Amino acid sequence: MTLQKTALITGVTGQDGAYLSRFLLDKGYVVHGVKRRSSSFNTGRIEGIYQDPHEEDAHFILHYGDLTDATNLIRIMQEVQPDEVYNLGAQSHVKVSFETPEYTANSDALGALRLLEAIRILGLEKKTRFYQASTSELYGLVQEVPQKESTPFYPRSPYAAAKLYAYWIAVNYREAYGIHASNGILFNHESPLRGETFVTRKITRAAAAISLGQQEKLYLGNIDAQRDWGHARDFIEGMWMMLQQDQADDYVLATGMMTSVRRFVEMAFAHCGTDIEWQGEGIEERGLCARTGRSLIEIDPRYFRPSEVNELLGDASKARQKLGWEPKTSLEALVQEMVQADLEGLQEYRVLEDA
Ligand code: NDP
Ligand code: GDR
């Protein structure tokens, strides 16, 4: 008989936290999550798995906490005594990090340190394995194409600089104290649960809303940026695989396909029955409905970043060979799933509003 494992997830209310919680519960884990106090509900993504805390033998347990609060993290860690910690919590928006650089450093860089210190303070070095949500943004101004584990980092935002610290402190605690700490260097991964202000979800939501007559236009920034987009469901499995290895290590997870924001727009609108034609240049460029000529997409410089990451393309050979990890979802299937979910969500909202 295998013993039931206990996992602690920071960022449990986010996209990846929601997918990972379900995945671990299905594997028979007891899952503890750290959620922030908020003046309105922030648990929408984990509604389906929420368990009443009064239930005996609950397998999904939430704790109030914050990555900026060390004593709180130590207490939760002491109470939970986790076998595995997944540090997914972060101020994760690159553009927002230029506006809140200090907070981003506090939560994203020092947050990782606080968790690793909690492991040490509580003497859990031999028991607790640690996953750090590292990112392809570390590559920033790319030094090599495609990017793999040995590619030099060159962060281009306060977010990426904070994640750089978190990456190295995880490596350092592995080397200095023997903690089983692994970095997953994950390229962009999306889903219907993706936050509405990240570009993919902003696009699929707008394509759905425009086709339902609920929105006039979509305003975007740099539509020539290119990303390696996969499905969050596939990527969280890779996180778990990293913590099942005898040795901790660092791995890139990516699909190995790069697509522009512009192409993503075309794909999303095509799923709603609209072909897009581009006209003009620079900030005057517009995306028109090919049938009616109506302008649906416009450029708004407010979405430009002070320093941009123009293109990212990952090479996940190491994860494929050592973990047996493969992405399973094509970009086409991902876009279709996201658009479909947004169409259904907006239709449901309209029915509720009408009622
Ligand atoms: P989300 O933005 O969807 O979720 C972030 C989570 O962190 C939310 O639960 C949020 O809580 C929580 N959080 C934010 N600040 C704090 C804080 N100070 N203390 C505690 N919790 C906090 O991100 P994703 O799920 O997309 O990403 C998960 C992790 O992976 C992040 O660390 C991100 O930087 C990283 N990453 C993501 C990639 C992607 O493409 N999705 C790629 C590579 C790395 P609340 O719900 O209250 O806001
Ligand atoms: P990214 O994701 O910065 O890669 O970080 P995002 O979807 O925000 O941007 C991707 C690219 O699209 C361009 N872009 C726009 N972006 C947003 N958000 N809104 C727009 O209107 C818009 N127009 C064009 C951006 O300039 C950029 O080049 C995500 C986050 O999940 C991070 O936490 C994670 O570490 C990385 O992915 C990997």
Domain ranges of the chain: 6-192+229-257+311-328, 199-223+260-307+334-354
60-64 and 181-186 as β-strands: parallel, antiparallel, unpaired?
unpaired
Interval 107-117 mean pLDDT: 99
pLDDT reading at 27 higher than 90: yes
pLDDT reading at 104 higher than 90: yes
DSSP per-residue string spanning 280-344: S-GGG-EEEETTT--EEEEE-GGG--SS---B--B--HHHHHHH-------HHHHHHHHHHHHHH
The Å distance, Cα 262 to ligand 2 centre, comes to 13
Interval 173-202 mean pLDDT: 98
Active-site amino acid positions: 135, 137, 159
Q: What percent of the chain has pLDDT over 70?
A: 99
Q: Which ligand is nearest to the CA of 45?
A: 1
Work out the number of other CB atoms within 10 angstroms of the CB of residue 256: 16
Q: What is the pLDDT of residues 248-300, one digit of tens each?
A: 999 999 999 999 999 999 999 999 999 999 999 999 999 999 999 999 999 99
**Nearest alpha carbon, ligand 1 atom 35:** 133
The per-residue pLDDT for 55 is 82
Name the architecture of domain 6-192+229-257+311-328: 3-Layer(aba) Sandwich (3.40)
Q: What is the pLDDT of residues 135-186, one digit of tens each?
A: 999 999 999 999 999 999 999 999 999 999 999 999 999 999 999 999 999 9
* Spatial separation of the C-alpha atoms in residues 33 and 126, rounded to whole Å: 22
The per-residue pLDDT for 53 is 78
Give residue 67's Cα distance to chain centre.
17
DSSP-derived secondary structure letter, 86 = E
- Which among 252, 233, 232 has a CA at the least distance from the CA of 242? 252
CB 258 within 8 A of CB 226: yes
Q: Which ligand is nearest to the CA of 261?
A: 2
The per-residue pLDDT for 1 is 52
Domains 6-192+229-257+311-328 and 199-223+260-307+334-354 share a fold: no
Which residues partner with 277 through β-bridges? 288
The residue ranges of DSSP E strands in 136-280, in sequence order, are: 181-186, 189-190, 218-220, 226-227, 230-231, 250-253, 259-260, 276-279
* From 13-22, 24-33, 48-57, the region with the lowest mean pLDDT: 48-57
60-64 and 276-279 as β-strands: parallel, antiparallel, unpaired?
unpaired
Work out the number of other CB atoms within 10 angstroms of the CB of residue 189: 27
The Å distance, Cα 301 to ligand 2 centre, comes to 14
Which residues make Cβ contacts (< 8 Å) with residue 283, sequence separation at least 6? 299, 301
SS3 state at 8: strand
Ligand 2 neighbours (beta carbon < 6 A): 92, 94-95, 135-137, 188, 197-199, 202, 220-223, 225, 227, 261, 303, 305, 308-309
The Å distance, Cα 201 to ligand 2 centre, comes to 10
Please, which pLDDT band fits residue 348 given cuts at 50, 70 and 90? confident
The Å distance, Cα 175 to ligand 2 centre, comes to 33
SS3 state at 80: helix
DSSP-derived secondary structure letter, 283 = G
Atom number in ligand 1 closest to CA 18: 25
Whether domain 199-223+260-307+334-354 has CATH 3.90.25.10: the reply is: yes
Tokens at residue 51, please?
A: 């368990």
Mean pLDDT computed over every residue of the chain: 97
Interval 197-214 mean pLDDT: 98
Which residues make Cβ contacts (< 8 Å) with residue 147, sequence separation at least 6? 136, 139, 252, 254, 312, 313, 314, 315
Atom number in ligand 2 closest to CA 220: 21
Question: Complex ipTM above 0.95?
Answer: yes
**Nearest alpha carbon, ligand 2 atom 38:** 188
* Spatial separation of the C-alpha atoms in residues 296 and 216, rounded to whole Å: 7
Q: What is the pLDDT of residues 31-62, one digit of tens each?
A: 999 999 999 999 999 999 988 878 888 899 99
Ligand 1 neighbours (beta carbon < 6 A): 10-17, 34, 36, 38, 42, 66-68, 88-92, 107, 133, 135, 186, 188-189, 195
Tokens at residue 169, please?
A: 């402190």
pLDDT reading at 353 higher than 80: no
The Å distance, Cα 10 to ligand 1 centre, comes to 8
Phi, psi of 326 (to 5 degrees): -140, 140
